[in-house]
Amino acid sequence: MRLRSQDSSWTERLAISGLALLSLALVPLTLWKESETFWLSAGGYPAWLRDCVRLIYYPYFFFVFGSMLMLSWSAGVRFAKEMRYCRMWSILLFAWMILVACFSLLITNNMVNLIHNRSIHHHDWEAFKEKCEAGRVP
């Protein structure tokens, strides 16, 4: 059986493109969430931004994750029924790669803290002060 390409509908294009943009917006949130300079007031970030990241990160992450699961399930069911694929699905794959990269960064930073017997979202103030005094932090 040979696979054939088919054009996607405008709603599918809109959903996949929107989801890709939502996953791209997750990248700076993840980088801020796992950055010491962000949480320790050394990067010049405003307090309201830290509060926003603290409040919205996990609900936003799980919203993007759930949306990707639903859209991927829909694409998989359609592929199984029709044995056809859409080129737009490559953008969905790109969005999954971004989500997995953000999740990997989140997990690895927290695993390092657990291995060193620290709390999950730990930032060492003393070590950070030493870095600042040595001029290794902007």
In a domain, 114, yes or no: no
What is the number of structural domains in the chain?
1
- H-helix or E-strand spanning residue 4: strand 4-5
Range of the domain at 14: 8-102
In a domain, 137, yes or no: no
Q: Is residue 3 packed enough to be buried (19+ CB in 10 Å), middle (13-18) or exposed (0-12)?
A: exposed
In a domain, 138, yes or no: no
pLDDT-derived band at 72, boundaries 50, 70, 90: very high
In a domain, 20, yes or no: yes
In a domain, 108, yes or no: no
If one counts every other C-beta atom within 10 angstroms of the C-beta of residue 73, the result is: 10
Q: Whole-prediction pTM value?
A: 0.78
In a domain, 115, yes or no: no
In a domain, 109, yes or no: no
The pLDDT tens digits of the residues spanning 2-16 come to 666 677 778 888 988
In a domain, 113, yes or no: no
